[in-house]
Chain A
Amino acid sequence: EADIYQTPRYLVIGTGKKITLECSQTMGHDKMYWYQQDPGMELHLIHYSYGVNSTEKGDLSSESTVSRIRTEHFPLTLESARPSHTSQYLCASQSDAIDTQYFGPGTRLTVL
């Protein structure tokens, strides 16, 4: 079982606020990912990182940004939240041993 954590689990904020969604893993995985998922819909990759100081945009365009200063930490930031950012954000890290991804519990964001 993987140890990957996301905080907060739920967040309700007003338009225009800056927010940071936290993701941490204790397994020393180099590869980490952020996905966005609307209720009942598919997951879409929005950012990924293959190691410290490495970040890339994913398949789905996103106004969020990410950073990877430490191996275990991969935060996602929205500079100015809008109602269109309302969604669930899922963080994952990858085990090279068996080449698969482990997901955190997710952050459900609501922007009013």
Chain B
Amino acid sequence: DAKTTQPTSMDCAEGRAANLPCNHSTISGNEYVYWYRQIHSQGPQYIIHGLKNNETNEMASLIITEDRKSSTLILPHATLRDTAVYYCIVRAPFETSGSRLTFGEGTQLTVNP
């Protein structure tokens, strides 16, 4: 699976959009970009994933660049409860990767009042 690079930490004001970047310059054509987050002491929570098109759900939006070498997770209106470590993971479908999720260090997002 391709390696990802994320900033160690970010701050965001409550109510503003949080934009979390991720670089994955060695991504392969069949690899998806997944985002999870982990609130302190809890299990990781799935947020969103995509292949090459931008995706949106009730939690967030995922913007993938045209060359697929980077992506941005957007939380449109961050709240204090969004404070967590956010993980960007690149992974091939189960049929080729065996579903291994490799979590890196992630980005610690702190939403401030």
- Report how far A102 CA is from B47 CA in the complex, Å: 10
- Give the segment of A67-75, A79-87, A91-99 that binds chain B: A91-99
Known contacts A42-B105, A99-B93, A99-B94; is-contact A104 B100 (Cβ 8 Å): no
Which A residues lie within 8 Å of B100 (CB)? 45, 59
Return the contact of A31 from the options B41, B93, B99, B103 (Cβ within 8 A).
Answer: B99
Q: Are B93 and A101 in contact (CB under 8 A)?
A: no
Interface size for A (C-beta < 8 A) is 24
The residue in A59, A98, A106 that gathers the most chain B C-beta atoms within 10 A of its C-beta is A106
> In the complex, which residues 39-85 of chain B have their Cβ closer than 8 Å to any Cβ of chain A?
41-46, 49
What does DSSP make chain A's interface, helix, strand, loop or mixed?
Answer: strand
Instruction: Say yes or no for B101: interface residue by CB 8 A criterion.
Output: yes
Which A residues lie within 8 Å of B101 (CB)? 33, 43, 45, 92, 101
Instruction: Say yes or no for B7: interface residue by CB 8 A criterion.
Output: no
**Residue-by-residue, is A32-70 near B (CB-CB < 8 Å gives 1, otherwise 0)?**
010000000011010010000000000100000000000
- Report how far A96 CA is from B94 CA in the complex, Å: 9
Q: Are B104 and A103 in contact (CB under 8 A)?
A: no
What is the number of contacts between chain A and chain B, taking CB atoms within 8 Å?
47
Return the contact of B42 from the options A33, A99, A100, A106 (Cβ within 8 A).
Answer: A106
Give the distance to chain B from A50, nearest Cβ to Cβ, in Å.
9
Return the contact of B34 from the options A94, A100, A103 (Cβ within 8 A).
Answer: A100
Give the distance to chain A from B3, nearest Cβ to Cβ, in Å.
13
Which A residues lie within 8 Å of B32 (CB)? 99
Return the contact of A101 from the options B42, B46, B104 (Cβ within 8 A).
Answer: B46
Give the distance to chain B from A38, nearest Cβ to Cβ, in Å.
12
Which A residues lie within 8 Å of B46 (CB)? 100-102
| Interface CB pairs A-B, < 8 A, 23 | A31-B99, A33-B99, A42-B105, A43-B103, A45-B100, A48-B99, A59-B100, A88-B41, A90-B43, A90-B44, A92-B43, A98-B49, A99-B94, A100-B46, A100-B49, A101-B99, A102-B46, A103-B43, A103-B44, A104-B43, A105-B43, A106-B43, A108-B41
